Structure 1
């Protein structure tokens, strides 16, 4: 077992940057172990060894945090697919495996709650339903040894505030990281407040870190950060998706495939960012002094490694980072190869 790491707040106070790998839903969907649509993490109870393996992959690639795969593993989502009986086993298994990998690797373990898909700002009865969903997931995270709690992908400030209140009430003093999802309107959250107002409300509510995740790619998320960074004192989180969104198509849901139809979710592959784009994103985060940086939907281990390296890290996976000096045609040391590389290059 690795030495116990310093806590989230301690590391942030020391000025460190925390790298957080996310993206489990999309990665397991690509691998054939999770259904697009409901996006429920059934793989946790059906193939827990694969979940533990991906936890390890992300740490190997440079993640400082093992984020328990309980995203969309809540009561409302399991009701949709008729698996309510798996609710507690799914959460506890994801949390327990995350704790095991964090202990093995000397990283932090975070519990995870997310948008409930049932919250309606105009229907108070859904607010209590939302609170109960958060309460049970937070209590399980505490019991299974989480170091902090991430609440993410909230379009409504109201739901984000309920999540934060529940973490403060049921989280046994654990720090809260709260991130919101911003759709086409880059100036407001879904229930009306401006981005600055939303981030300030979360800060005043006691969140240790506030910011943005999901929906937008790296280069349509960073402008959101720039709008709010001078208006809050707590660290800002940035966890974009891995797709090449732009001003015309600012979100992954707005991207169109080659026939003009919505690319989300099955045709998003064509819009994946390159590794050099992720390196550029990481460098920009470094310039902005961001302390909580990660990657969301579309992430994979090689992208996390690229992000870590762009932030000045050398994770274990860097042992296998590309080294084109050894390539038989493009290598810089021609003495390594007997082939006439100039002739080959002309053919390529």
Structure 2
């Protein structure tokens, strides 16, 4: 009898997984990736940093090492003249992901994404996109991925093509397929979010749901509706920015106090607080979301919050905040009045 797939086994009987994403934005912040093209050249130029980020997210509580092959596809590489690096880039990212996952007893996932080449009524573009998916899927299979993620699709047709490609070229590996929710409830090609997820599930996706696009506040209502119609595991991986009903995606956010668009260089002005991330994770937990994490804007401390909210105690929990030990904001009896009393008065604000 064939051994049960490790990923599917984890999700059986109401099981759940904490999954860290968001490599693109993290490396851009660190100065190793260009905003605009968003091509993960860092995989080739500084592989040690990619390995370290895998380790960081596992330390923080991610139970999956998602191979950093997002936008490492032919169409994106063509923009910067690095198509010849596709094979090496994907192999490096996948090999490191497999090694880190094995070291820590985690799952490892391959990753395909929106191609920026898909056009709804253009069959030739569909053939091109399938070839893009095929290249990356076949390499993920070689490196023994436990499953493959297809994500951030704005077209239902491209999401379905990703699922079909995983089924066709993935040697039986399960597929997680997630949609990037737009400002409305309808994708570019006219399919609603809820219907898209239901149709993807019916077509054989092991997990369906949403990633990227929306932040916690505007993703939760859609996840609630998806949970009503989908029978299997549902995914929720928002960006970590304070989207609102008025500005529902991080593309539509404006810098507070201005009318200037925040995406992508000023998104730091719209970052969620730690409490907002904890509240999101708690809502997902209460809704029974089985595949939970964070996308663009994610960092290790935020992944730790999600993991802890889901009942995990990752190594990073050792360093969770303990403000009662702070000389200004801590327990007054443990510090001199010159700090807990006089210092508070000096810096301003009512802390009691």
Q: TM-score range by the shorter chain?
A: over 0.9
Asked whether the 8 Å contact 1:328–1:339 carries over to 2, the reply is no
1:223 aligns with 2:227: no
1:63 aligns with 2:40: no
Secondary structure of the 1:140 match is: helix
How do residues 217-296 of structure 1 correspond to structure 2 at under 5 angstroms? 217-257=215-255, 258-296=257-295
Equivalent residue, structure 2, for 1:92: 91
Asked whether the 8 Å contact 1:60–1:317 carries over to 2, the reply is yes
State the TM-score, normalized to the length of structure 2: 0.95
Alpha-carbon shift at residue 222 of structure 1 (Å): 0.7
Equivalent residue, structure 2, for 1:307: 306
Shift in CA distance, 290/339, structure 1 to aligned 2, threshold 3 Å? same
Mark the runs of 5 or more structure 2 residues left unpaired by the alignment: 348-352
How do residues 193-212 of structure 1 correspond to structure 2 at under 5 angstroms? 193-212=191-210
Secondary structure of the 2:161 match is: helix
- Cα deviation code 1:109-151 (max 9, x no counterpart): 0000000100001111000000000001000000011110000
Alpha-carbon shift at residue 14 of structure 1 (Å): 3.1
How do residues 164-179 of structure 1 correspond to structure 2 at under 5 angstroms? 164-179=163-178
- Cα deviation code 1:267-305 (max 9, x no counterpart): 000000011110001111111011100100000001101
Q: Distance between the aligned counterparts of 2:31 and 2:333, measured in 1?
A: 42
Q: Distance between the aligned counterparts of 2:289 and 2:262, measured in 1?
A: 31
Q: Distance between the aligned counterparts of 1:230 and 1:304, measured in 2?
A: 26
Asked whether the 8 Å contact 2:117–2:125 carries over to 1, the reply is yes
1:105 aligns with 2:104: yes
Q: Distance between the aligned counterparts of 1:341 and 1:259, measured in 2?
A: 37
Alpha-carbon shift at residue 338 of structure 1 (Å): 7.3
Aligned-residue CA RMSD in angstroms? 1.4
Alpha-carbon shift at residue 43 of structure 1 (Å): 0.3
Q: Distance between the aligned counterparts of 1:194 and 1:85, measured in 2?
A: 38
Q: Distance between the aligned counterparts of 1:340 and 1:124, measured in 2?
A: 69
2:211 to 210, 213, 216: 213
- Cα deviation code 1:140-171 (max 9, x no counterpart): 00001111000000111110111000101111
Q: Distance between the aligned counterparts of 1:303 and 1:336, measured in 2?
A: 30
Asked whether the 8 Å contact 1:12–1:291 carries over to 2, the reply is yes
Equivalent residue, structure 2, for 1:151: 150
- Cα deviation code 1:210-266 (max 9, x no counterpart): 000001001100111111211111111000000000000000000112542221100
Q: Which moved more, 1:139-148 or 1:331-340?
A: 331-340
Matched residues, number: 343
Q: Which moved more, 1:222-231 or 1:246-255?
A: 222-231
Secondary structure of the 1:212 match is: strand
Q: Distance between the aligned counterparts of 2:25 and 2:73, measured in 1?
A: 17
Q: Distance between the aligned counterparts of 1:253 and 1:196, measured in 2?
A: 21
Alpha-carbon shift at residue 196 of structure 1 (Å): 2.3
Q: Distance between the aligned counterparts of 1:230 and 1:340, measured in 2?
A: 53
Mark the runs of 5 or more structure 1 residues left unpaired by the alignment: none
Shift in CA distance, 86/340, structure 1 to aligned 2, threshold 3 Å? closer
Q: Distance between the aligned counterparts of 1:305 and 1:195, measured in 2?
A: 29
Q: Distance between the aligned counterparts of 1:6 and 1:345, measured in 2?
A: 56
Shift in CA distance, 117/339, structure 1 to aligned 2, threshold 3 Å? same
The runs of at least 4 consecutive aligned structure 1 residues that moved more than 3 Å come to 336-340
Equivalent residue, structure 2, for 1:39: 38
Q: Distance between the aligned counterparts of 1:236 and 1:190, measured in 2?
A: 22
Secondary structure of the 2:183 match is: coil
Q: Which moved more, 1:33-42 or 1:250-259?
A: 250-259
Asked whether the 8 Å contact 1:326–1:333 carries over to 2, the reply is no
